[in-house]
Each structure stands twice: as C-alpha cells, then as structure tokens.
Amino acid sequence: MVLACSSAVALVASLALAPVGEAPLEPNPDPTQKPKPAASDDDDEITRDVQVRVGRPEPSERDRASTVVGREELDERLPRSTPDALRGEPGVYIQQTSHGQASPYLRGLTGQQTVMFFDGVRLNNSTFRQGPNQYFFTIDSRSVQRLEVLRGSASTRWGSDAIGGALLATPIEPDFEDRRGVVVHPKAILRAASADAELGGRGQTSVSVNGKLGVIVGAGYRKLDLLRSGGRVQQPGTGTPQTVPPIFGPDDHTQLGTGFRELTDDARIVWRPNRKHRVTFGYYDYRQFDAPRTDKCPPQTAPQDECLTYLRQFRTLVYGAYEHSEGPAAAEHVRLTLSYQKQHETRREHRGSPSVTELTGEDDVHAGGTGLHAETKEFVLAPWATLGVRYGADLYVDRLASDETLTFTDVDISVERPRGQYLDGAHYVTSGAWSEVHTELADAIRLRAGGRFAVVAAQADEEPMTESKAVDEQWVTGVATAGVAADAVEWLTFVFNVDQGFRAPNLDDLTSRQQVGPGYQYENADLDPEHSLSLETGMIARHPWFELEAFGFRTTIRDLIQRTSRDLSECPDGDVNCMASRNRFQLVNLDGIARIYGAEGGLRIFFPLGFRLRGTVSYAWGDGVNPRRDLPMQPDRVALSRIPPLNGIGEAGWRSRKWGVYVSGVVRWARAQTRLAPQDRVDARIPEGGTPGYVVFDMRAGYQLDRRVLAAIVFENVGDTAYKHHGSSTNGPGRGILAELQFGF
C-alpha cells in the first residue's frame, strides 16, 4: 500500500514537472495564472484502481475555500443545467424560480451578489436583479469542461458583485495532437429524461491541425416538457399541502408552468503557434424558448391560464483572447481578452381568460468588455522565500434597450408603454485595476495581499410620465484581500483569509420596475454600493486517500441592498402598477451591518479498488437591520431573505477505470428552513411557515469505453419524494431516469 501511495505521489510529481506543451493542458479557470499540467484521464495501470484522486481537478486558488466540478463529474451527474451541476457542493445551494431558470446561492447570497465568469470573461451585466436570476443557466453545461466555485468575497480579483463568491466556468478545449496532420474527432451526445420528458442532444467536432490549431464546434438542442415532481410539499406552518406554486396537473404530481426548449451552438478556435503564444476565439450562443415562469403561471390568485413566459432568453458571447507565456519577469504570463456579449429577453404575460390582453417586454443588454491579466515570474528572494505578483485591469460597458407593449389580441392593437422594465438607453460601466502579491516561505507558509481600485458609473435619462428619475452616478471604491496559509504537513493546510467585496448598484437596482416573487418592486436611483468583509478560516487536506475541506466564515455587509416594504403613498406618481399591487417593495441600503455566518465542508475518501465516499454539508445564518424597525411591533433585526437551510449530500460509489464502469448512490438532504425574512412570508414560492426539509436518494451508473462511448444513467429521486429547494417555485423532480449516450472517435 505504501508503494502504491508513493507511486501515486510520484505520478503527481512527474506530471507537475512535465514540460508545458507535452502534457495535455487542463483548462484554466483563471487564465491569469500559468497553465497547469493536468492529471491525465488515462492514468497508468497502477493508479487506476487505487488512486483515483490523481484525476481530480485542482482549484485555481489553492488556499481558498473552493471546489471544482470536472467533466467527469458532469458526465456522471447528468445535470439538467449548469447550476444543477453544482448541487451539493459545499456552500452552494440551488434555487429554481422555474424549470428553465436556476440560481446558485454561495454562502447565502445569489444573483447580483455573486459574480460569474466564462473563460475569464465577466458574464454579470447591469440587469442582474436582486435575488435569484437565470443567467448561469444560460451556460450550456455540455460545453463546459469544469466549473469552479470560489466561496466568499473576492472582489479584488473578480471585481464588482463578488460578495458571496465567484462562479467560474471553463469551456471544453479542442484536442491538440502534436506531430499529426489533420485529426478530426466527431462526437454525438443523446440525452433523455423521464421526469420532464427531456429529449435532446449535441453534436460536436474537434479538429486538430498539426498540433497547433485546434477547432471545436458544437450545436445542441433539447426540449423539455412538464416536470413531474414527487407531489406537493407539506407546509411547516400548517401541516397542510402547499397549493401554489406550482400549479399541479390532474395527477397532482405534474407541474404546470414548466418545460422549455433550448438551442445552443458554439465554436472555439485555438491557435498555438508555439509554446509562448496562444490565441483563442470563442463564440457561445444560448437560446432558450418558451420558458414559463412557474410562480407566474398562473400568479397565485389569477385565472389558471394566465402565464408569464420567457419567450426568448438568449445570450451570445463572442470574444478573443491572446496569451503570452514565458515573457519578461514582470509579465511572464499575460492574457488579454476582448469580448462582446448580448443578452436578450422577450417576456410575454398572457392574462387569464377571459382577458385578451398581453403584455410583452423586450430587453437587450449589449456589453463590451476587455480585460488584461498578468503574472510576474516567481522571484526567489532567498532560498526559503519566493515572491510573485498578479495584476490586471478590466473594463466592461453596457448599453441597455428596454421597452414594453400592451396588446389587445381581439382587435390586434398594441400600445407602447411609457417605459420598459428598465429605462431605455441606459449605460453602465464597471472597471478596475488590481494587484495581488503572494509569497511562499520555507515551502510551508504562504502569504498573499492585494487590492483593487474600482470605478463604476451608471447613466439613464428620466422618464417623466412615470416619474422615473434620471440616473447619473459614479462610484469609486477600493477593496483589499489578504490571506495566510500554513502547511502543517505536506497534505494538510490551514488557511485564514480576509477578503473584501463590493457591489455597485446596477441598472436593475437603479431603474427597474417589475413584479418580483413577493410583489411589485420599484427602483431607487439613490442607492450606494454595498461592501462586504469576508473572514474565513479552515483547513484543506489533499491526501492521496482523502480530500477534506472545512471552513467557517463570517461575512458582513455594509449598506446591503435589500427590498423593503413600501406604503402606497410612497409609490412613484404615475406608477399605477405600484399603486395597484398588494405588496410593494423598494430597494434600499440597509442601515448598519448585515451578517452571514456559516460553515461548510466536504470530505472525499478514496478506498482501494476504486471505492469512494463523499459527503458535504453547508450551513448559513444571516440577518440584517430591519428597515421598518421604527414601526410598532417591529424587531430591530430580521432574517435575510432566502438563506438556504442546513443541507448536504452523502455519496458512496465505485469506479473501475480498468473496466470503465462506475456506480454510486447519492443522498441529498436539507433541513427545513423556517427562519424567514418579512418578504419571504409574502412570497408565494415559500410555503407557509417555511420550506420543509427533505431526503432524496439517487443512483448513478455508467460505462465508458475510452473516448468512444459513454453511457450514463441516473435513477433520480428513487423514493419519489416530494421536495422543494428553499425559495424555488418548482418542486424537485420526482422518480425518474436521466440517461445520456455519447459516442465518437
């Protein structure tokens, strides 16, 4: 056994020392950093059934609370979406407002308080709304090689919005085959699921030309029908079944207001003329059609055929990146990106019978961006000390188009509304420059410190008919980060990190008017940025036999932007929608400090012969100053909205790399969340008294024959349990089969 361990360590070491360009490059989520050689999927015979940890993807920042989901796990989990792939990861909780939308919570925060990147390009734009949003869903999980979750504030490196953490998606790379001419690897993926009658697939082709030019193109389509659940959940407050949402069909299991269609296409061209230079062109297009918003199909008290549908939810990303390695000491590795992203939404609210009214809203966000990321060489200060610096700058500019039309379908007459969901023609700029110094002492102590200087600006013209104020704001802010990590032994590290985060108000905060889950929300043009301070301490163990990470954290947020209830008299003049709504909200900066405490951890144990165990657990608790504390009977502090319950997973499995077979069982669980914010209590998505806990069991199995065939199957929710993720409109899928077949050469 000792020999086996030594072999594995030696293999890791040898891979780590392999020259760049000879080992396959693992996609790097932080392109600033030097490309790291990855563990090969086809490990040698010795390690196949003994040391499966060798193939585990490594996080981009070794001394932070983070996890990585690699392609192998994606293929094994068969997620319905990219957010779905992160279920059960420590500190992550997935909320779904509809079948076609999902939003990861990181340490109790989501949406605009987390930041998303795709291959180093910022996906967050100025319309990311308060609370959950659907935009991480618009990354095609089949085009992703790895997903990394960085938990805790991280604005120094990732800019505005990185308060709860960062989500980093890395696309699949084309194959490069050195010393061969033109090599083509086509691949087809077929997929089906029973709970939502999903049928779809993807075709992709990777081409390598002389090992220097790699091209991968792909296109996918899938159609999902109504999602069958395990039934209604019991409301903790009453002990009775929750009625809405969702609306159930006659079988009391099938959820109406679900289903959608999805079309994706992508192309990636990578040119590596030599080991120093790399040029990448990426095109990623996501098109979702006819996705009903479950909690608005129908709204709680409306006719049963009323529905708000996202007719079109498109995101198109085009970018180019140039990377230079082995440069001068001050910029040994440099990556420069130039990107354009368009996000398009068309929403249609079809009023219920006998109404003949339809309200259609269209929003387009055009975002141009550029980013420069560089890293110095590792300077040797002394035999026992090295020092390096990472630095960079980024700039993203958004332009927004927004309109809304009322149509009377019986006479086919349309009326343009005075304003759309956002103020049309608004602009938004987010930018910054950052630097981070890191040093390693005696090969055991690592220190890092850095900061970002950020400038954010928002501009929008007023709309007098609806008394929508003009916006002309600029914010300049600075954030810092610091951390220390100490290796107790080779495989065990203790870390302590202090990170600041910030989020400048975006155009959604400053200009939007919309019906949100708990009621009608109108803008606040006078918001200030929110700032966070994240303290975390924990341990990271990466032993050949196990991986362990355990963290405790405390995040405090100053000037937290939250919804607060508003009286009718506070509605903007001329905003009849506000005045007519039962519940009215406005975003405000909370006084005082909001705080989130929590702990999370994950343990993987690798047994001989390919057996493995895995468990994760996550807990968060948050509260903030009650914006209505001056009113009678109101407490000084209230719970933050939709903080996830205590939750986790347990997994036991076996994988034989020799035979290409795997099988595993997974238990997903969550305690009830009965600690609700005031707005949660009027949110129809949350059952009365909170969201009940659940225990759900899944089984997974599959077979892989080299790169030619992969057959994977998930038997989900074996017990057909009725369950709901806190804050979600849809209940979790009922008992069913997910199956995927990949074949290629």
Partner 1 sequence: MDSINRKGLVWLAVGALASTACGDDSGGDDAADDGGTADGGTADDPTGGDCMPSEVDIAPLDTSTCMPAATDYTPTINGSADDMWPACANDDGVYHPLDQPGAAARTEAFAMIRSILAADLSPAGFTMAREQYALDQGIESRTVRREDVRYPEIPEADHDPAVDADKQCTVEANVMKYPDRCAGPAKIAPIINDAFMAAQMGEGDPAVHAARIDAAIAWFMYLSVIKESTFSCPLADLGGDCDSGWGYYNGANARGAGIGFAADVIGVSPAADDRIIDGLSAMRCWRDSYPADMDADTSDPLYVAGRDQLDQANNHGAAIVLRDRMEQQLALCGSEADANWAWVQTFGQGLIKPAQDTDAGHASTLVALLGNDAPMPADIEGGIAALDALFPCP
CA distance 375 to 331: 5
Residue 714 region by backbone torsions, left for phi larger than 0, else alpha for psi between -120 and 50, else beta: beta
Shortest distance, position 306 Cβ to partner 1, whole Å = 8
Shortest distance, position 726 Cβ to partner 1, whole Å = 20
Does position 346 interact with partner 1 (CB under 8 A)? The reply is no
Does position 520 interact with partner 1 (CB under 8 A)? The reply is yes
Residue of the chain from 249, 328, 464, 608 that contacts partner 1 (CB under 8 A): 249
Does position 243 interact with partner 1 (CB under 8 A)? The reply is yes
Does position 298 interact with partner 1 (CB under 8 A)? The reply is yes
Shortest distance, position 411 Cβ to partner 1, whole Å = 5
Residue of the chain from 34, 185, 351, 558 that contacts partner 1 (CB under 8 A): 351
- The token pair at 313 is 């939810």
Does position 613 interact with partner 1 (CB under 8 A)? The reply is no
3-class secondary-structure state, position 669:
strand
Residue of the chain from 13, 488, 580, 705 that contacts partner 1 (CB under 8 A): 580
Shortest distance, position 409 Cβ to partner 1, whole Å = 10
3-class secondary-structure state, position 47:
helix
Binding characters for partner 1, 446-485, by CB under 8 A (x = yes): ----------------------------------------
Does position 19 interact with partner 1 (CB under 8 A)? The reply is no
Q: Which is nearer to partner 1, 321 or 677 (CB)?
A: 677
H/E stretch holding 279: strand 277-292
Site for partner 1 in 584-603 (CB under 8 A): 584
Burial class, 6, CB count within 10 angstroms (exposed 0-12 / middle 13-18 / buried 19+): exposed
Residue of the chain from 408, 464, 636, 659 that contacts partner 1 (CB under 8 A): 408
Residue of the chain from 1, 179, 181, 301 that contacts partner 1 (CB under 8 A): 301
H/E stretch holding 147: strand 144-151
Residue in 205, 209, 203 with CA at minimum distance from that of residue 183? 209
CA distance 134 to 559: 25
**What does the DSSP 8-state code read for residue 125?**
-
| Phi, psi (degrees; rounded to nearest 5) at 675 | -95, 105
Does position 329 interact with partner 1 (CB under 8 A)? The reply is no
| Contact between residue 656 and residue 683 where contact means Cβ atoms under 8 Å apart | no
3-class secondary-structure state, position 320:
strand
Q: Which is nearer to partner 1, 55 or 298 (CB)?
A: 298
Q: Facing residues of 664 across strands?
A: 653, 700
CA distance 626 to 635: 7
All residues at 6 or more sequence positions from 716 whose CB lies less than 8 Å from its CB, including other chains: 195, 696, 698, 733, 735, 736, 737, 738
Burial class, 268, CB count within 10 angstroms (exposed 0-12 / middle 13-18 / buried 19+): buried
Residue of the chain from 14, 274, 353, 474 that contacts partner 1 (CB under 8 A): 353
In Å, how far are 74, 111, 129, 236 from 83, measured between CA atoms? 11, 12, 17, 27
Q: Which is nearer to partner 1, 70 or 298 (CB)?
A: 298
Site for partner 1 in 412-451 (CB under 8 A): 413, 415
Shortest distance, position 293 Cβ to partner 1, whole Å = 15
Shortest distance, position 241 Cβ to partner 1, whole Å = 10
CA distance 695 to 686: 18
Does position 631 interact with partner 1 (CB under 8 A)? The reply is no
All residues at 6 or more sequence positions from 93 whose CB lies less than 8 Å from its CB, including other chains: 104, 105, 618, 644, 647, 725, 726
Residue of the chain from 19, 181, 354, 632 that contacts partner 1 (CB under 8 A): 354
Shortest distance, position 464 Cβ to partner 1, whole Å = 18
Q: Which is nearer to partner 1, 205 or 515 (CB)?
A: 515
Shortest distance, position 362 Cβ to partner 1, whole Å = 16
Residue of the chain from 73, 290, 305, 487 that contacts partner 1 (CB under 8 A): 305
Residue of the chain from 22, 44, 178, 252 that contacts partner 1 (CB under 8 A): 252
Residue in 359, 682, 676 with CA at minimum distance from that of residue 516? 682
- Judged by the rule CB under 8 A, the positions of this chain that interact with partner 1 are 243-244, 247-250, 252, 298, 300-305, 349, 351-357, 359, 406, 408, 410-411, 413, 415, 515, 520, 567-569, 576-577, 579-582, 584, 682
